Amino acid sequence: MIRGAAIGDFILTLPAIKVLRDAHPAAHIEVLGYKHIALLAKNKFYADRIRSLESGTLSRFFAKDADLPDDLANYFADFDLIVSYLYDPNLIFEMNLQRSGSKRVISGPAKIDNSAHAARQLARPIEELGLTVSDFAPKVFPSKADRLRADEFLAGLTPPIVALHPGSGSEKKNWPIQNWIELGNYVQENLAGSLVIVSGEAEQSQAERLRITFASSRRRLANLMSLPNLAAVLERTIFVGHDSGISHLAAATGAKSILLFGPTNPAVWAPLNENARVIRAPNGDPSRLDGEAVRHRLDQALLS
């Protein structure tokens, strides 16, 4: 499975990999992708091995009639089936795989359109094999070691534990930071709960404001944590976030997830997990999303 994608797109591909695994439980499955993301699949039901997509020699496979590196050519030739989601409009990559001796190559959509939910679109190459994909809700499976680290990270926090992820891949998707501060105050003052502030490279400034605002023993900062470790943390929380990869991760762990959608279409991009609930901003503008609606949904999640 060749899947060079961001966190959310990778997670949305897991239902397709699951059907392959279910159909061929004894098969050796590898994922060629971004290693820090593909770790979600390694030895966690989906993949037996992962390999980095960020290899300089792989670029030769995108050149017509190129001299292909022997190590990668032999690597690709070892597989009975390769499913690639790489952008390959002229089929040069696919032809070079076949030149390497690849036995069967199927291409998946490199870009998602508005025709159907993203997970359904990503499952189409698997359905070409005659397999049926019926469950489009991705699941991730933290290991025992991941959960032990989560126990250490969360030690001392008073439930309910609410995880706040104030960022996303686009500023246009984001709820204003003042609203996140008010929501955090509500958790700590009205619910007597604790906070986990999730921070990656894209939301360092927002997370820093929340860290300073809630500088107490009832707050933890999950800053640039590995994705398997973060998954183990999030499954113990009620999660609030935007349309982002981390929101897909939280939903896939089974955490009750409240997702604030602005300009993007939840019919295409919202997680299909039963535990995920979407609040759509009026006219797709997150700044117009009422904090009371988010607090109400949080109260409902606590009662359910």
Average pLDDT over every residue of 33-47: 95
Task: Tell me whether domains 2-127 and 145-303 share a fold.
Answer: yes
Check whether 201 has a pLDDT greater than 80: no
User: pLDDT tens-digit profile of 245-269?
Assistant: 999 999 999 999 999 999 999 999 9
User: CATH assignment of 145-303?
Assistant: 3.40.50.2000
pTM metric for this prediction: 0.96
Check whether 123 has a pLDDT greater than 80: yes
User: pLDDT tens-digit profile of 21-30?
Assistant: 999 999 999 9
State the fold for domain 2-127.
Rossmann fold (3.40.50)
Do you find a cis peptide bond into 160, omega within 30 degrees of 0? yes
Show me where the domains of the chain are located: 2-127, 145-303
Check whether 203 has a pLDDT greater than 90: no
Contact indicator for 142, 232 with CB cutoff of 8 Å: yes
